[in-house]
Amino acid sequence: MVKERQIDCDLLIIGSGLSGMCAAYFAAANGLSTVQVSKHTTLGFHSGLLDIAEVASQAATKSWNSPLSAVREIIKHSADHPYSKVAKNDLMDSLSQIIGFLKQEGLDYSGSTDQNLQVLTSMGTLKKSCFVPSTMQACVDAYVSKKPSLIIDIKGLRGFSSRQIVETIKEKWPTLTSARIEFPGFEGYSEVSAEHMAWALENEKNLMALIETIKPHLNGAAYVGLPAILGILKTGKILKIMVEKLGVPVFEIPSMPPSIPGLRLKEAFERGLQRLGVLRFHRQLIETIERAKDGVFHTGWDKDTGSVRIRSKGVILATGRFLGKGLIFNNGEVKESLFNLPVAHLEQKQNPYRIRFFNPQGHEINRVGIETDCGFRPLNKNLKPVFNNLFSIGIINAHQDWAREKSGSGIAVSSAYQAVQTFIDDLAQAGLCQPKARLSS
Ligand SMILES: Cc1cc2nc3c(=O)[nH]c(=O)nc-3n(C[C@H](O)[C@H](O)[C@H](O)COP(=O)(O)OP(=O)(O)OC[C@H]3O[C@@H](n4cnc5c(N)ncnc54)[C@H](O)[C@@H]3O)c2cc1C
């Protein structure tokens, strides 16, 4: 007989990109019984850099050194932007809670909201970001000092050429040099993957062999840069040993997906959410969800191994845009894929998706998405919440252009925080829960 599992929870979170992970953390840390269901995680695409803001793209293309100044500029030019819905203290608090949580799970970040840091990319360009994995901090210092530094690449690793990096940035950083090595144990392979190397380095014998392979290339370099391959679970320890044995600071450079710093984020969230008691279902698409008259959401699925039925007092939609499949393009229109929520469309109705694709202020389609109130509840055509217990967070929401603004992580973290807080306040008001504490500390 096929078994049926019935789950009752406070909050169902759909999606496991950064916004879904953060919402699951905020909810569980605050004592809500939390279930997370997702088709796949998008964190493997994430470079690991936590961008808050660099450009207010609707205003100009100026690159801001201060993330908070960029946020202020974004808000000034867009009263509907997700950042306009979050108080400054809540933005700061949400970020510091996530950085603290990641640290507790063994993933250290450097940075502050006062200053964007600059790191090298695998293209040889510089990228600004607010919080950088501590494995990239030495790159920030090396670039500021412009000291002679060595970039190592690995034969067979696609999309990462130290010669190209050195060539691209030589005018800004003339003392940079390059070397190519073969990864010990993978000699003679025409292709090697970052993920295989990262797992291999979890073994100290392989790490020591890599260090010995790098040593002859040092030639007095003050810093050594490598593609991001320094392990997945024991990264801090691996970096420490490399620095000790090579005698110089070592840094990672983010490389092509699957991104190792993104996988580290995924592992850290999964560990922490399990510890907090979040019930998670992977590789599971939610195809339909209904809301009963009493306001409770019902969803589930049937498999050969059994059925699952979930009842939840609230739902957070963290389903992303076109990559995550929260938004789909259907019959010439952008639609929200699960609830068929109204999508805030472009102002220009004539041929709306083809206008000014290369406009430096961005294409209007990037700003299409779900319209919400200040609690991140989706709005209907009359600008009233569709349901008081349904929330949409992250990059599915309208009026932001995360890629151009470099605001992806900040929007994900702060909207997750605000939506969970709104839900908790509503539950408490209705006498339906006794939250441990307010989210804000
Ligand atoms: C290549 C790439 C690189 C990036 N690098 C950076 C970076 O360096 N720094 C930075 O700050 N930001 C970066 N971002 C942006 C960052 O990834 C997003 O801001 C962040 O992922 C927030 O997205 P999200 O959680 O809202 O949605 P997504 O990450 O798109 O997640 C959507 C989730 O919803 C799930 N889902 C959708 N529909 C359903 C359904 N019906 N049932 C179950 N699950 C469903 C998907 O499987 C997925 O888990 C990058 C993005 C990309 C694409």
pLDDT at 264: 97
Start-to-end CA span in the chain (Å):
49
Q: In terms of domains, do 289 and 367 share one?
A: yes
Q: Supply the range of the domain harboring residue 130.
A: 122-253
In a domain, 115, yes or no: no
The CATH number of the domain where 25 resides is what?
3.50.50.60
CA angle (140 as vertex; 136, 141 as ends), nearest 5: 115
Q: In terms of domains, do 233 and 290 share one?
A: no
Ligand 1 near 280 CB (within 6 A)? no
Q: In terms of domains, do 280 and 247 share one?
A: no
Whose Cα sits closest to atom 1 in ligand 1? 45
In a domain, 110, yes or no: no
Q: In terms of domains, do 202 and 294 share one?
A: no
Distance 43 CA to ligand 1 centre (A): 7
Ligand 1 near 409 CB (within 6 A)? yes
Do 95 and 131 contact (CB within 8 A), yes or no? yes
In a domain, 434, yes or no: no
pLDDT at 364: 78
Q: In terms of domains, do 152 and 241 share one?
A: yes
Whose Cα sits closest to atom 8 in ligand 1? 47
Q: In terms of domains, do 127 and 180 share one?
A: yes
Q: In terms of domains, do 398 and 289 share one?
A: yes
Ligand 1 near 286 CB (within 6 A)? yes
Do 95 and 53 contact (CB within 8 A), yes or no? no
In a domain, 139, yes or no: yes
pLDDT at 356: 60
Distance 19 CA to ligand 1 centre (A): 7
CA dihedral 372, 375, 376, 378 (to 10 degrees): -50
In a domain, 441, yes or no: no
pLDDT at 143: 97
Q: In terms of domains, do 10 and 82 share one?
A: yes
Domain boundary among 231, 253, 275: 253
119 contacts: CB under 8 Å, gap ≥ 6: 49, 126, 127, 129, 132, 136, 139, 140, 143, 251, 253, 254
Q: In terms of domains, do 408 and 272 share one?
A: yes
Q: Tokens 């939506």: give the residue.
A: 419
Distance 401 CA to ligand 1 centre (A): 14
pLDDT at 434: 57
Intervals of the chain under pLDDT 50: 348, 350, 435-441
pLDDT at 441: 38
In a domain, 259, yes or no: no
Domain boundary among 201, 225, 253: 253
Ligand 1 near 57 CB (within 6 A)? no
In a domain, 112, yes or no: no
Ligand 1 near 328 CB (within 6 A)? no
394 contacts: CB under 8 Å, gap ≥ 6: 15, 17, 18, 19, 20, 318, 320, 411, 412, 415, 416
Tell which one of 12, 13, 14, 18 to mutate to probe ligand 1, the residue whose CB is within 8 A of the most ligand atoms.
18
Ligand 1 near 20 CB (within 6 A)? yes
The CATH number of the domain where 132 resides is what?
3.40.50.1860
Report the number of distinct structural domains present in the chain: 2
pLDDT at 62: 86
Q: In terms of domains, do 140 and 242 share one?
A: yes
Ligand 1 near 59 CB (within 6 A)? no
For 155, the token pair is 């034969």
In whole angstroms, what is the distance from residue 395 CA to residue 422 CA? Answer: 19
CB environment 260-272: b (16+ within 10 A), e (fewer): bbbbbbbbbbbeb
Query: Which atom of ligand 1 is least distant from the CA of 284?
Result: 43
Ligand 1 near 408 CB (within 6 A)? yes
Ligand 1 near 325 CB (within 6 A)? yes
- The number of helices, as runs of H, and strands, as runs of E, in the chain is 11, 19
In whole angstroms, what is the distance from residue 289 CA to residue 390 CA? Answer: 12
Question: pTM to 2 decimals?
Answer: 0.94
Q: In terms of domains, do 273 and 143 share one?
A: no
pLDDT at 351: 52
In a domain, 343, yes or no: yes
Q: In terms of domains, do 143 and 278 share one?
A: no
pLDDT at 166: 97
Whose Cα sits closest to atom 6 in ligand 1? 46
Domain boundary among 253, 285, 316: 253
Query: Which atom of ligand 1 is least distant from the CA of 51?
Result: 11
In whole angstroms, what is the distance from residue 242 CA to residue 206 CA? Answer: 12
Ligand 1 near 50 CB (within 6 A)? yes
Distance 173 CA to ligand 1 centre (A): 33
Q: Which among 153, 155, 231, 161 has a CA at the least distance from the CA of 192?
A: 155
